[in-house]
Amino acid sequence: MLSSPHPAAVGVYGGTFDPIHQAHLRVAEEFAEAFGLSQVRLIPTGEPPHRNSPATPAEQRLAMVEAAIAGNPRLMADPREVHRRGYCYTIDTLGELKAELPPGTPLAWLVGADAFLSLHRWKCWQELLDLAHLAVAVRPGFDLESWQKTAPDQLLAAVQPKLSDESAIPVAPVPGRITFLSTTPLAISSTRLRADLAAGRSVRYLLPDPVLEYIERHHLYQI
């Protein structure tokens, strides 16, 4: 665990969550624990700018997130991108949260390693670290020792001065630190779950029972 967590810090964890599953939830829990977060906002994207639209309507993906985290007071479903018109950009989401939360509340933003390595393609990407600290969730296969050798020069030049080790305080009041977070390796993907559901295969215990019940009740992911 990282030292001296800031008790008021808020985490931001976005994704399509199509559907949300146990690996998403475990990462959210480890993110909150490692960074001492008072809250993690799980934010289903509405219309992502860098990929095809999700298979499931945004309102239903939000409902599945709400079902998945019921009973965990540290996790919160945030509907802002579901209700946003047009493409959803992280710079807008972080800016809105910064304006809404009490002044001085640190934000910690979670992305996967693949997203981190393509960060230089995001809208206003260098300004993102003016708003929040960045936690990069790493899984087996991501080499912490050699990733910099293959990272784009533009990205590397911007992020290298901001890299933090585990003894640093990533949720200090001044944003912009980048920390790698090792997570429990759970080989669960929404893509595989959708395929299994379409084929009529069991996905029990790969996602929370309330989410599975919602999927069955609304006949989602069926061909």
Confidence of residue 46 (pLDDT cuts 50, 70, 90): confident
Q: What are 68-87's pLDDT values in tens digits?
A: 999 999 999 999 999 998 88
Please give the sequence-ordered ranges of beta strands (E in DSSP) within the chain, or none if there are none.
10-15, 39-44, 75-77, 107-112, 133-138, 178-182
Confidence of residue 146 (pLDDT cuts 50, 70, 90): confident
| CA torsion through residues 84, 88, 94, 99, sign | negative
Range 43-51 average pLDDT: 81
CATH topology of domain 10-185: Rossmann fold (3.40.50)
Q: Are 22 and 186 in contact (CB under 8 A)?
A: yes
How many angstroms separate the CA atoms of 157 and 161, rounded? 8
3-state secondary structure of 111: strand
Give phi and psi for 27, each to the nearest 5.
-60, -40
How many angstroms separate the CA atoms of 117 and 152, rounded? 8
Q: Are 22 and 188 in contact (CB under 8 A)?
A: yes
Range 108-114 average pLDDT: 93
Taking the CA atoms of residue 113, residue 1, residue 108 and residue 74 in that order, the dihedral angle to the nearest 10 degrees is: 110
Question: What percent of the chain lies above the pLDDT cut of 70?
Answer: 93
**CA-only gyration radius of the chain, Å:** 17
Of 88, 84, 12, 10, the residue nearest 48 (C-alpha)? 88
Of 180, 157, 163, 145, the residue nearest 35 (C-alpha)? 180
**The pLDDT value given to residue 82:** 94
Range 45-52 average pLDDT: 76
How many angstroms separate the CA atoms of 46 and 62, rounded? 10
Please state the domain extents for the chain.
10-185
Tell me which of 89 and 86 has the higher pLDDT: 89
Of 61, 48, 160, 60, the residue nearest 115 (C-alpha)? 48
Amino acid at 58: A
Q: What are 5-36's pLDDT values in tens digits?
A: 444 799 999 999 999 999 999 999 999 999 88
Task: Based on DSSP, count helices (H) and strands (E) in the chain, helices before strands.
Answer: 10, 6
What pTM was estimated for this model as a whole? 0.90
What is the rounded average pLDDT for all residues in the chain? 89
Taking the CA atoms of residue 174, residue 37, residue 111 and residue 204 in that order, the dihedral angle to the nearest 10 degrees is: 180
